[in-house]
Structure 1
Amino acid sequence: MKYKLLGRSGLKVSELCLGTMGFGTEAGWGADAATSFAIMDAYANAGGNFLDTANMYKLGTSEKIIGDYLGNQDRDYFVVATKYTLKDNITNPNASGNNRKNMMRSVEESLKRLKTDFIDVLYLHIWDDITPIDEVLRAMDDLIKQGKITYAAISDTPAWVVAKGNTLAELMGWSQFIALQVEYSLLARTAERELIPMAKHFGMTVTPWAPLAGGALTGKYLKGDKGRIKPESNRLNQRAEKITRVVMEVADELGVSESHVALQWTMSKGFQCIPIVGATKVDQLKDNLKTVDVKLSPEQIKKLDDASKIELGFPGDFFNEDAVKLNSFGGFYDRVEKR
């Protein structure tokens, strides 16, 4: 794999991130420790170095498995990203949320489970709509100064909150968020309305979760395998089926798997993007790793774009109206260009 810089930093990470939410067998599914080790071995052997986990994945088991694995590896080779926010114990009312107290407590627990002295990237997992964003960034900056985390990042948060946070950080001399983790795929493009333009403005790398829409974009659900997806899910409706069939057509044209097409599409959209690829089987990961060798033509990208197009709403669609551009701005732009 090739390496990319993560946001406006000098941190080099592989072009596919390994999602480890399935490491552990709690809730009746997932990979046991031995299989998880084999998956990480295959990923590292392919040049992968970017691991994504969270304090709550498999009730902490994901972090524990990664910690056991790193004990036998070159720790500095790997870039470990974890998250805080969601409750991982029931001992106190501040065991969840974005507040400073929970952040400090959660990071200490993650460090123990990961058996490491530092976390490379710490994400705020999900916005709680309570904690001031300056409290979050000041606390993350303190952890960076203490050497317990190296970079700050954020996930599942409104664009205006992230924008306010990075602006405050720039003004105050705090470390800014360098990555934004959101749901993004051919079936879920609403992040294009505000979140992705905001990330582009601040030079943040987008790390999409569910880039394969829970497997829906591989076409397996059209073949009768509903898995754990609920029948009413937007991953199984008529729109999803239409988009998935176009993915299957493009895959046939290229002679590759549907997952390669869906993943490569997220990497071909004109902004910094490193999709998170989860796996509970080695063969599953090895197949997804082949994505880096796939290239989509402009015509194929347009075909996928057209099939999955969404309404941007206001003001996105308003900006795209040719009549508005012509009547309101056209003459002005003409005058500017002539000068």
Structure 2
Amino acid sequence: MKYKLLGRSGLKVSELCLGTMGFGTEGGWGADAATSFEIMDAYANAGGNFLDTANIYKLGTSEKIIGDYLSTQDRDYFVLATKYTLKDNTTNPNASGNSRKNMMRSVEDSLKRLKTDFIDVLYLHIWDDITPIDEVLRGLDDLIKQGKVTYAAISDTPAWVVAKGNTLAELMGWSQFIALQVEYSLLARTAERELIPMAKHFGMTVTPWAPLAGGALTGKYLKGDRGRIKADSKRLDARAESITKVVMDIAQQLGVSESHVALQWTMSKSFSCIPIVGATKIDQLKDNLKTVDVVLSPGHIAMLDDASKIELGFPGDFFNEEAVKVNSFGGFYDMVEKR
């Protein structure tokens, strides 16, 4: 396992992040504690050190399992990321959202479940469109100054909000967001319109969730296997099927699994990108870990890019139109009318 710096920080994390949303059996699915321990052991033995969880995952069970595991391990080896925002109880109207009150309450509860004194990376889980971004940043910075959180990150939030936040943080001397967690895969590339260019500008690492599109990109649905994706999901529509077939063809050429191809595509991007791979079975994790040894040729990457390309919309596509010419002398755009 190779290590990368997380955003504009000196924090070293493994090139694959272990997603733990499935740690716990609530809802009739997931891994029990013993299996979760086995998965984390295999991940650590392979050099993995980056764990991703949230206060809401399995109603707190994910954090509890990780806490029990870390209490038997070298805590400082692991980079532990969790999240706050989503409602984890019904005791009061402030038990959800991005507010400072919910942030402080949620972090204290997470620390107890995780059996640790500090959280390495705290994500805002999802933007609530209510709380001022300066309230969020001041709260995160206070937690960092208290030593309860080491780094701040953000997930599932509009690009303009993140950009405003990091700019304000730089101006005020507060801790900036170093990572951006969003949905990103061969089947979901809309983050390339605004979010990823913004992350590149601020030097943030992108940590994609669902890099395998819920398993659709493994090809198992095309092979007749059943899973948790509903039949009418966009992850199984005609476009998704055509993209998945390209993944399957390349996997067959290289003699690797489809998940290796789909994951390595995200790891081969021009920006810092560390996919989050979830596992509820040890065999799933062991297969995903083999991704780090797979190399996609420029030709394979071009095939995947072409099969999964999207319309960037305005202004992305506008900048790429033939009607927009770059003046090499002044760097201005010359508009050429098409008649």
- Same topology, TM > 0.5: yes
- 1:67 equivalent in structure 2: 67
AA of the residue aligned to 2:245 = R
Q: Secondary structure at the match of 1:221?
A: coil
- 2:211 equivalent in structure 1: 211
**Greater percentage in helix:** 1
The offset of 1:225, in angstroms, is: 2.2
CA distance in 2, matches of 1:333, 1:175: 34
AA of the residue aligned to 1:278 = G
CA distance in 1, matches of 2:267, 2:42: 22
AA of the residue aligned to 2:79 = V
- 1:167 equivalent in structure 2: 167
CA distance in 1, matches of 2:115, 2:247: 41
AA of the residue aligned to 1:291 = T
The answer to whether residue 271 in structure 2 is matched with residue 286 in structure 1 is no
CA distance in 2, matches of 1:147, 1:260: 38
CA distance in 2, matches of 1:267, 1:302: 14
CA distance in 2, matches of 1:120, 1:331: 47
AA of the residue aligned to 2:95 = A
- 2:124 equivalent in structure 1: 124
CA distance in 2, matches of 1:333, 1:49: 44
- 2:304 equivalent in structure 1: 304
Q: Secondary structure at the match of 1:261?
A: helix
CA distance in 2, matches of 1:226, 1:101: 42
CA distance in 2, matches of 1:333, 1:14: 39
- 1:337 equivalent in structure 2: none
User: Matched residue pairs, number?
Assistant: 333
AA of the residue aligned to 1:179 = A
- 1:88 equivalent in structure 2: 88
AA of the residue aligned to 2:234 = N
CA distance in 2, matches of 1:117, 1:195: 32
The answer to whether residue 216 in structure 2 is matched with residue 231 in structure 1 is no
The offset of 1:332, in angstroms, is: 4.3
CA distance in 2, matches of 1:239, 1:145: 48
- 2:16 equivalent in structure 1: 16
The offset of 1:223, in angstroms, is: 1.4
The offset of 1:157, in angstroms, is: 0.1
The offset of 1:232, in angstroms, is: 1.4
The offset of 1:333, in angstroms, is: 4.8
AA of the residue aligned to 2:243 = I
CA distance in 2, matches of 1:322, 1:296: 31
- 2:220 equivalent in structure 1: 220
AA of the residue aligned to 2:273 = C
* Gaps in structure 2 of 5+ consecutive residues: 333-339
CA distance in 2, matches of 1:266, 1:228: 23
The offset of 1:296, in angstroms, is: 0.6
Q: Secondary structure at the match of 2:97?
A: coil
- 1:245 equivalent in structure 2: 245
The offset of 1:323, in angstroms, is: 2.5
CA distance in 1, matches of 2:159, 2:325: 25
AA of the residue aligned to 2:217 = L
The offset of 1:224, in angstroms, is: 1.7
Q: Secondary structure at the match of 2:247?
A: helix
CA distance in 2, matches of 1:256, 1:320: 35
AA of the residue aligned to 2:181 = Q
The answer to whether residue 31 in structure 2 is matched with residue 31 in structure 1 is yes
The offset of 1:331, in angstroms, is: 6.6
AA of the residue aligned to 1:320 = N
TM-score by length of 1: 0.97
* Gaps in structure 1 of 5+ consecutive residues: 335-339
The offset of 1:227, in angstroms, is: 1.4
Superposition pairs of residues 140-159 of structure 1, within 5 angstroms: 140-159=140-159
CA distance in 2, matches of 1:325, 1:253: 40
CA distance in 2, matches of 1:333, 1:118: 48
- 1:107 equivalent in structure 2: 107
CA distance in 2, matches of 1:333, 1:107: 48
What's the CA shift string for 1:280-309, capped at 9, x where partnerless? 011110000000001111111000000000
Superposition pairs of residues 309-328 of structure 1, within 5 angstroms: 309-325=309-325
- 2:277 equivalent in structure 1: 277
User: Is the alpha carbon distance of 1:331 and 1:173 closer, same or farther for their aligned partners in structure 2, counting shifts above 3 Å?
Assistant: closer
The offset of 1:330, in angstroms, is: 5.7
What's the CA shift string for 1:301-339, capped at 9, x where partnerless? 00000000000000000011123126xx367459xxxxx
4+ residue segments displaced more than 4 Å? 330-334
What's the CA shift string for 1:18-68, capped at 9, x where partnerless? 000000000000000000000000000000000000000000000000000
The offset of 1:252, in angstroms, is: 1.0
What's the CA shift string for 1:188-237, capped at 9, x where partnerless? 00000000000000000000000000000000010122411111111000
TM-score by length of 2: 0.97
The answer to whether residue 77 in structure 2 is matched with residue 77 in structure 1 is yes
CA distance in 2, matches of 1:70, 1:332: 57
Q: Secondary structure at the match of 2:325?
A: helix
CA distance in 1, matches of 2:188, 2:61: 29
